[in-house]
Amino acid sequence: MSLHKDVPPTRSLLRHAHPHAAKPGGNLGNFHCASTRSLLPSKSQFIIFLLSLDQLTVTMRAHRSVSVLEVALLVLLACSQQCSSTYLLPPEFSQHNGTLYAACKVRPSASLADDLPNVYGQVLFKQDQAQGKLQVLLQLTGFPTDESPQPRAVHIHQYGDLSQGCTSTGGHYNPYGVHHPNHPGDFGNFVANEGRIGERIESEATLFVGLSVLGRAVVVHETVDDLGQGGDAGSLLHGNAGRRLACCVIGMSSSNLWDELS
């Protein structure tokens, strides 16, 4: 499909307006568009975009002459808006060859009761490409050194708000509106060994695009997660995992910590 007879086809305009704008994965300033199929606009969306652009050109021609450069700028603006709202990736994506890293520095809750342990540590994240599995590394200390330590639940919570300690992080991050333990940040239960937890797991959560867990919180709980088998409403919300011992906010990071601790 092409525009008015005096205006080159859209693909040519894209190449004319910006050398990478017509290519999936092209660089726009300090950002990159994802080349994964799941992040690209659908065929119908692209056709609607072309029809709208064609109509816009005809309308402009009715009022004044339209140069190739003017239409090219319009195309670039429209594509930039589409890309920024759908699949723009941060500069770290190219800096780390398609991998994103994140870190979360765990500290005891500001509202922690005196009888609960003070838990410290790191939760680190690594994801290769948007379609790759999220790798999570938990390094936590401060648990009691009992002979029979109890499992502790760890989850991602909705808000990166520590203004009231771990209480203000809200409930589980649940973008799909499903029951626990099917939330993407339901990491499960971990048993401390000599007061420490050191585990590496895979998660259904992501660091990429709209459902990214960046800016959300990791919460370490007092007791075991019943994994939705408790038979009550709380079990399907949070696994009845007890009080919140410690938490942190997930932020973008370099690869340094991951390389050091993994």
Q: Which residues are catalytic?
A: 155, 157, 172, 180, 183, 186, 221, 244
Q: How many Å from the N-terminal Cα to the C-terminal Cα in the chain?
A: 51
Tokens at 154, concatenated: 């760890």
Residue 174 DSSP code: -
Residue 187 DSSP code: E
Partner residues linked to 102 by β-bridges: 125, 252
d(CA 4, CA 177): 46
160 Cα distance to chain centroid: 13
Within a 13 Å sphere around the CA of 104, how many CA atoms are in the beta-carbon half?
Answer: 31
Helices (H), the chain: 10-17, 43-63, 68-86, 92-95, 233-238, 256-261
Best CA proximity match to 161, nearest among 173, 171, 169, 149: 169
Partner residues linked to 62 by β-bridges: none
Best CA proximity match to 134, nearest among 104, 114, 168: 104
